Structures are given as structure tokens and as C-alpha cells.
Amino acid sequence: MFEYHRKASFHSREWIESYSPRTDEALISIRDPGKELARIKSGWHDVLFLAFHDIDAKDDGREVRSFGEPYILQAMRREQAQDVLNFVRRNHDRRIYVNCEAGISRSAGVVAWLVENWGYKSPERGLPNIHVLSLLRRVEREERPSLRPEDYEFLF
């Protein structure tokens, strides 16, 4: 049973919208700013919705055009990384799914961090967004520099 809960996986928006969750599973759902929330099925134990683009920090705030309309690129923010950390603390004993639009980079960055810092298992490796992974590492390190990930289970 413990092994089941310590798994994390990343998926596309399309896949997560078709998935029927178990009541002991948690979801971090990432979308592009300005897009609708993923239409997930009910039953998740806990859900965190985030909105940021799949970009590096150097492109944050840059104006681009899509179909002639301008918009500003938004990278993952420190507050969003803090929200992820708090979510994982609440759900550290659950299987965590992470989705983004394509299920390739932003969600893979979160899962890579879970594997690296929280002892989660994941069958996938993907192509993690380096900004997402680096920011999650930095926020966790700044908040609890003296604790190792295995110490967290004793805090709850």
C-alpha cells in the first residue's frame, strides 16, 4: 500500500480529462494563462490548479502574438512553487498526478522534483521544464534548509 501512494506521474490535459480518479489520488493541473481549467472528473482527494506558460524565466514578461493578438508570457512564479510545496505536504502519502497542456515539460518538471526531493517513484522521465524544477528546488531549500525530504513524514 505504501508503494502505491508514493508514485507520481505526468500527463496531458486530454488524458487527465478522460481519467476517472480514485478518492485517494491528488492532482496538480497546469494550464496556459487565459485558458479554461481542465474539465476533470469528480472524485479527486485534492486538486491544485495553476496557470503559467511553458517557458524559461528569461522569457517571463515578454510580449508575443498569437493569431495577431498580443499577450504577455508568464513563467512559474515563486508563489506558485510555494503552492505546489504546500499541496505536496498535504498529500505526501497519496499518489500525485500532474498534468499540463501537452504532458511533456511543466508537468514533467514537477514530477522530476517529486522524485528527486520527496522519494516518489515515476515510470516516466520526460523533458522537465528547467525553470519549474529549479524554482521548486529553491523554494523548498529556502523554507526548510535543515530538513531532508524523508524528515517530512514526521512533521504531519
- Mean pLDDT split into 10-residue runs, the chain, 156 residues: 67 97 96 96 98 93 86 94 96 94 94 91 86 96 68 49
Helix axes 130-143, 78-90, angle to 10 degrees: 70
Q: What is the DSSP letter of 64?
A: E
State the Cα–Cα distance between residues 121 and 119, nearest whole angstrom.
Answer: 7
Total Cβ atoms within 10 A of residue 55: 19
CA distance 96 to 26: 5
Q: Quote the CA–CA distance of 96 and 27 in Å, as a whole number.
A: 6
**What one-letter code names the amino acid at 128?**
P
The pTM of this model reads 0.87
pLDDT at 151: 56
Distance, in Å, from the CA atom of 72 to the CA atom of 54, rounded to the nearest integer, reads 13
> Domains, the chain, ranges and CATH?
2-155 (3.90.190.10)
By the 10 Å C-beta count (0-12 exposed, 13-18 middle, 19+ buried), 152 is classed as middle
CB neighbour burial string for 79-116, b if at least 16 within 10 angstroms, e if fewer: ebbbbbbebbeebbebbbbbbbbebbbbbbbbbbbbbe
pLDDT at 149: 57
